[in-house]
A and B are shown apart, each in its own frame.
Chain A
């Protein structure tokens, strides 16, 4: 735990993130470039045809959507239990990205669904779960914005995030159960043929790196904004 508290100091965080950022930014661009190149070089799937191309932007978006919520949950725990001062800032900063990637997952999933099922939406278990996840993000952000006192807002949001993260497996389970009840379709079946695996993994890595990069920038921005606020109050 102690090493985490070393970076609780905003100065330390600024220093560390400043050093790491150029690397993550470059790595992001490399991964996305290579991933896209490989993604457009693969043969069409025997079942899904060329729509397999959507695998490479749909699944990575979903991965980040869940990762971001996990990050918010961890930061919320650090905030509530260990009072890690930067945790609130980090949690709040991650939310818009999580919401965006969730929405992207829904849009790409819907566009993938049209050629597969004939309609833009068909209540596939995964997409439905992600729709609910989007609402969880919106509620989280709304709570932050609604409570005026920042400290209170932070703790309320943290409680909500933890309640949410406990619920997410339950929600997914119930939606899965529901979709077997109503015989829903599924876009992505578990197995991915090896030839598609590499572009997929590299794109996933690229998306994750993009999220981490943008997240760090946003936390740094929040730290600067707080410094500016303190300066204004001091004057």
Chain B
């Protein structure tokens, strides 16, 4: 098995166990979707209008929860040094970790989203658009998140800075993703929004491994 796939499967297995990041992200996502109507009231029209934005923000925050451990676990027990010395280029290692993170948080969140959209009284067509937007956009969240995670991996309390660093960078994803759902709700075409989101996600996944690898290298003293 290629080292890429080995690393990928290992990270997924770590995240999927109970108490791991997958379960945590899903619970957080569902909890936020439950709390928001409690906070803003049960006006179904209002909830439908804010569904796209709330669920997108909730998904980003949920994915954020496990990001600070993306490299830190391996850094702390020395495995990251070993991984860095392996024949697999550090950029591909970063990509493997990004993929594992997405498969264990972003993708499950996307799959849960239609159920939560139901809580917000979002009609079927916008729900589908929201689902697609999360499917396209959550890889970008993992990718950009990996940059933040690699920059802060040596910090004990790096988890506090991580959101501050990456949330502004994720604003375009939230804008285009939630915008797509909002356009669909207004019976307007969401294709342009989804297209912009796809471009953003593509660029993010393509370029982040380089930034993340550079950050890992500098933290390993390279």
Query: Which residues of B lie under 8 Å from residue A143 when comparing CB positions?
Result: 151-152, 161, 165
Main secondary structure of the interface of B (DSSP, over half): helix
Residues in B whose Cβ lies below 8 Å from that of A139 = 161, 164-165, 168
**A–B pairs, 26, beta carbons within 8 Å:** A132-B168, A143-B165, A147-B154, A152-B218, A152-B219, A156-B215, A156-B218, A156-B219, A159-B151, A159-B214, A159-B215, A160-B151, A162-B211, A164-B169, A170-B172, A170-B200, A171-B168, A171-B169, A171-B172, A173-B172, A174-B172, A174-B200, A175-B175, A177-B176, A177-B196, A181-B179
Chain B residues near A171 (CB-CB < 8 A) = 168-169, 171-172
Interchain CB contact under 8 A, A147 and B211 = no
* Interface residues as binary, A107-143 with B (CB distance below 8 Å gives 1, 0 otherwise): 0000000000000000000000000110110110011
The verdict on B118 contacting chain A, using a C-beta distance below 8 Å, is: no
The 6 closest A-B pairs by CB, nearest first: A174-B172, A139-B165, A135-B168, A139-B164, A174-B175, A178-B175
Q: How far is the CB of B164 from chain A (nearest CB, A)?
A: 4
Query: Is B119 in the interface zone, CB < 8 Å from A?
Result: no
- Taking the nearest CB of chain A, how far is it from the CB of B94, in angstroms? 13
A160 contact set on B, CB distance < 8 A: 151, 165
* Cα distance A133–B183 in the bound complex, in angstroms: 27
* CB-nearest residue of chain A to B182: A181
Q: Which residues of B contact A181 (CB under 8 A)?
A: 179, 182-183
Q: Assuming A146-B158, A147-B155, is B168 touching A159 (CB within 8 A)?
A: no
CB of A178 within 8 A of CB of B179, answer: yes
Q: Does B147 contact A (CB under 8 A)?
A: yes
Q: A167-B169, A174-B200, A175-B175 are in contact. List 16 more A-B contacts (CB 8 A).
A: A138-B164, A139-B161, A139-B168, A142-B165, A143-B151, A146-B152, A156-B151, A160-B151, A162-B211, A163-B169, A171-B169, A173-B172, A174-B171, A177-B196, A181-B182, A181-B183
Residues of A contacting B218 with CB < 8 Å? 152, 155-156, 159
Interface residues of B (CB under 8 A from A): 147, 151-152, 154-155, 157-158, 161, 164-165, 167-169, 171-172, 175-176, 179, 182-183, 196, 200, 207, 211, 214-215, 218-219
Which A residues are within 8 Å of any B CB, using their own CB? 132-133, 135-136, 138-139, 142-143, 146-147, 152, 155-156, 159-160, 162-164, 166-167, 170-171, 173-175, 177-178, 181
State how many angstroms separate the Cβ of B59 from the closest Cβ of chain A: 17
Tell me if A's interface is mostly helix, strand, loop or mixed.
Answer: helix
Cα A183 to Cα B214 in complex, Å, equals 41
Given A152-B219, A174-B196, are A132 and B171 also a contact pair (CB < 8 Å)? yes
Closest to A155 in B: B218
**Chain A residues within an 8 Å CB radius of B165:** 139, 142-143, 160
Bound form: Cα–Cα A177–B196 in Å: 10
> CB-CB < 8 A to B214: which residues of A?
159
